[in-house]
Amino acid sequence: MNIVNMMWAGGSPYMSIHKVHQQVLSQAGADARISNWLLLGGELCHGHGHTRVWHMPQRALKGKHLWRLLRPWLRLRLLMALKAAGANVVLLDGIGVARLVLPVLQKIPEVRAKVLFHGMTRLTASDVSVLNRLPAERLTIAAVSQTLARSLEQDIGRPVQTLRMAFDPQAFTRPLLMREQARKALALPHTGGVVLGAVGRLVDSKGFEMLVEAFAKAAQFQPGMRLAIVGDGPLRASLQARIDGLGLADSVHLCGHHDDLQRLYRAFDWLLVPSRAEGLGLVVQEAVIADVPVVCSDLPVFREQLQASGCYLPVGDVEAWAHEIARCDAPRALAVAARQRQTLSPEAAWRAFCDGSHHLLRG
C-alpha cells in the first residue's frame, strides 16, 4: 500500500499536527510505503519515510483573489505526482489541504482519501460540497476528538470517525528525564519551591497573557513558586515585557522551543493549560502520562479526556486561575496526578487509537 501523507506545512507551528499524523501512520502496517508531502514548505517535525517539499504559494493554496487562477496548475501538478507515486491512500491535513486535493482525486478513482481534522473549523457551503462529492467508499473523514467529530457531522451531514490521539505509554515514559535533569535542560534556577509548567506556541489562543497575570496575583501567597512557559511564537516579546513590568523576571521563565519537549514534563509539579480553544490539546495527555497533574480551561475537549478527574477553570478568568494556582502545592499534586492517570487510562487509549488508525487507513 502506497500512502501519501499530505500536510499544509512544516516547522514548529505545525509540530502537533505532524505528531498526530505520524502516530496514525505508525499503524499503517509493514507493507506500507509512506511519503510525506509539505505543500507550503518547511521541515517535517516528526515522521519517517521520504519527504517532498512543494513550496506552493500560500495565497494560491487559499485561492484568494487572482491567485485562484493558479489552482488548476497546482492541481495538475498534484495529479501527475500522485499518479507517478502510485498512491493508494492519501491522508489529508484538514480542510485547507482537502480544498485543493479532493477535486484532483475525482480524476483518480483508484485512490482513497482520508481527511483528518485537528481543530474547530468554519466550513463554508463550498467546503461541504467538496467533501460530499466523493462517495463514502472513497472518502473517510476523521477528527481527533469526539467533540470535534460531532460538530463536523452536523456541518457536513455524513459520518465522522473519532480518532482521539493517544501515545504508547511505555514508549512515551522511557525517555523521560528525572525532575532535576529536566529542570537543568530548561535552564531553570535551583531555588526550590513549586514549579508550574505551561507548554505551547506563544499565540493568543493559548491564553498565556492571562496566565502571567493570574500567576502574579497567586505569587503574593506563594512567593517561592515559579512558572516555566515552554514554546516560542509571535507574542514572546510582549509576554516578556509584561513579565518584567509585573516584577516577575525571577519567577516566570520563557524557556523557548525545545525539540525534546516530551522528555521534559517532569520538570513541572503541575501543568497549566489556559487555552481559549483546542482541537484536542495533546499536552494534557503528555503531562498525565508523565504523572504531572493538569489544571486546564473548561473546554469540552479537555472534559472529554479527563472527565471528573479534571481541574477545570473558566476561560480567561484571571481571579479563578489565580485562586487555583495558589492551591498548587506538591502534596496535592500526587493525588490529582493519580486520579487523572486512572481516568485517562493510557494503555486502553493507546489500544483504541491503534485500532482506529488501522481502520482509518485500511478501511
| Length, in residues, of the chain | 363
Look at residues 182, 263, 157, 248 and name the one whose alpha carbon lies nearest to residue 209. 248
Decide if pLDDT at 235 tops 70.
yes
139-143 vs 226-230, strand pairing mode:
unpaired
CB neighbour class for 237 (10 Å; exposed up to 12, middle 13-18, buried from 19): exposed
Rounded Cα gap, residues 165 and 281, in angstroms:
9
Q: What value does the CA radius of gyration of the chain take, rounded to a whole number of Å? A: 21
Confidence of residue 14 (pLDDT cuts 50, 70, 90): confident
Residue 65 confidence (pLDDT): 67
- Residue 141, beta-bridge partner list: 115
For residue 324, the one-letter residue type is E
Least confident of 71-75, 131-135, 224-228: 71-75
Q: Name 318's Cβ contacts closer than 8 Å, sequence gap at least 6.
A: 210, 213, 214, 217
Helix extents (H) in the chain: 15-25, 58-62, 71-85, 94-105, 125-133, 146-156, 169-173, 179-185, 208-218, 236-245, 282-289, 300-306, 318-326, 330-344, 346-362
| Fold match between domain 2-163 and domain 169-345 | yes
Residue 223 confidence (pLDDT): 85
Residue 8 confidence (pLDDT): 92
Look at residues 208, 180, 202, 176 and name the one whose alpha carbon lies nearest to residue 192. 180
Average pLDDT of 151-169?
A: 93
Domain boundaries, the chain: 2-163, 169-345
Rounded Cα gap, residues 254 and 9, in angstroms:
25
Residue 188 confidence (pLDDT): 93
169-345 in CATH: which number?
Answer: 3.40.50.2000
Average pLDDT of 21-39?
A: 92
For 317-329, give one letter per residue: b (16+ CB within 10 A) or e.
bbeebbebbbebe
**Top-confidence residue, 50 or 294:** 294
Q: Determine the topology of domain 2-163 in CATH.
A: Rossmann fold (3.40.50)
Percent of the chain with pLDDT over 90: 79
